[in-house]
Amino acid sequence: MFYSGDVAILHADLDAFYASVEQRDDPGLRGRPVLVGGGVVLAASYEAKARGVRTPMALGRARALCPDAIVVPPRMKAYSTASKAVFEIFRDTTPLVEGISIDEAFLDVSGLLRVSGTPREIAARLRAEVRERVGLPITVGIAGTKFLAKVASAVGKPDGLLEVPAGGELAFLHPLPVERLWGVGPVTSGKLRERRIDTVGDVARVGEAALVAMLGPGAGRHLHNLAHNRDPRRVRVGHRRGSIGAQSALGRRPRPFTEIEATLDALVDRVTRRMRGAHRAGRTVTVRLRFDDFGRATRSRSLLKATMQTRTIATTARDLLHEAHDLIAVRGLTLVGVAVTNLDGDGHVQLSLFDAASDERLDVAMDAVRDRFGSTSLTRAATIGRELGPSVPILPD
């Protein structure tokens, strides 16, 4: 079956990824409600989701909903290994793969239709390969646009295959709840539902001008286009990321501010090492915070010139953290992250007479030691005996 412009896009998404890896590796967990995480649930098996558990959710609340849940600590190395194996299968399927996260990707199979069969046949083989070679369930959505393929995989979960037929895009899309549209989180959903705009079809009927007046020009036009399945984006291969960042879950127990600072410093070490490895300098430092009530905040500052120096970025990140000190004290902190954006394209850094060359030499020397002996071979004194919490996505508004 051919789609608009003979484009066929798959969205492949591993099901309850972290929890599925745990169930794969421990047969005793199969068929049972599994929670991965510490103070916050990072992943829940579908058995736990059926009891109302969602991510991210406080572990205490998850246990109240599902008292018989089995809680396991995250094993990031195992998840990374499984992800790499799955992405090898993606690339065996088509060279046009755009990874979105550790557990999902878009695949453009338009050029394979005459040699590899229909998109449904290609997707079915991919799912079978992932199950056989990696031992994990995966859901695939098929459509003529990236947006609709992602919606199809979400509707098709778990462990499913859902194709949106050419010509039937709007008939499939319009009955769905507004939350299926990219960019519609709790805040936007609340604004829409207050006006009895409950489905994607309702959004399409409202009109662009009304949406712009309601949500602003960017969000209004964005949702108007999606509600009509207008998504001209193509699968991009090998595009360079616009930011480099890392974040760490802290759990829900109160932590002294000095411990939060130490965690932030360790995250900066991780980020700047990756920046130097990629030869990317950046100019804007952003600190991301998530609070005990699941609210979020960010603090950003742009530097006069791009840098990849650990000391410069760490000092800026600490300043931003201190700006939010009172907020953290009142609301409690469950996650801290740091990202560097406005990255240059080739790693060239404008130096000045006052640059600390010794800092640059120290950064390079420490990178070399960690590359040879492992990332934990050198660590800050303040973080001895502490491990960074697992990375957790910060959900969009």
For the chain, what is the domain count?
4
For residues 194 and 84, membership in a common domain is answered with no
Which residue range(s) make up the domain with 355? Answer: 243-383
For residues 308 and 370, membership in a common domain is answered with yes
CATH of the domain at 188: 1.10.150.20
Decide: pTM greater than 0.85: no
For residues 12 and 152, membership in a common domain is answered with yes
Among 137, 154, 170, residue at a domain's last position: 170
Q: Which of 21, 16, 152 is nearest to 85 (CA)?
A: 21
Asked if residue 255 belongs to a domain, the reply is yes
Run of H or E including 366: helix 357-373
Which residues are the active-site residues? 104
Q: Dihedral of CA 39/41/47/52: which sign? A: positive
- pLDDT tens for the 397 residues of the chain, in order: 444 447 899 999 999 999 999 999 999 999 999 999 877 888 999 999 999 998 878 888 999 999 999 999 989 889 989 999 999 999 999 999 998 888 999 999 998 877 788 999 999 999 999 999 999 999 999 999 999 999 999 999 999 999 999 899 999 999 999 999 987 888 888 889 999 999 999 999 998 998 998 888 888 899 999 999 999 888 988 766 678 888 888 877 788 999 999 999 999 999 998 888 878 889 899 999 988 887 889 999 998 888 989 999 999 999 999 999 999 998 889 889 999 988 875 544 444 434 444 555 566 665 565 555 555 545 555 555 555 555 544 433 3
Asked if residue 163 belongs to a domain, the reply is yes
Q: How far is CA 270 from CA 275, 278, 321, in A?
A: 9, 13, 17
Run of H or E including 224: helix 217-227
β-strands 104-108, 9-14 pairing = antiparallel
Structure tokens that stand for 172 in this block? 């499939």
Asked if residue 234 belongs to a domain, the reply is no
391, 26, 31, 62 alpha-carbon torsion, rounded to 10°: -30
**Confidence (pLDDT) at 102:** 85
Asked if residue 281 belongs to a domain, the reply is yes
For residues 135 and 194, membership in a common domain is answered with no
For residues 182 and 313, membership in a common domain is answered with no
Asked if residue 388 belongs to a domain, the reply is no
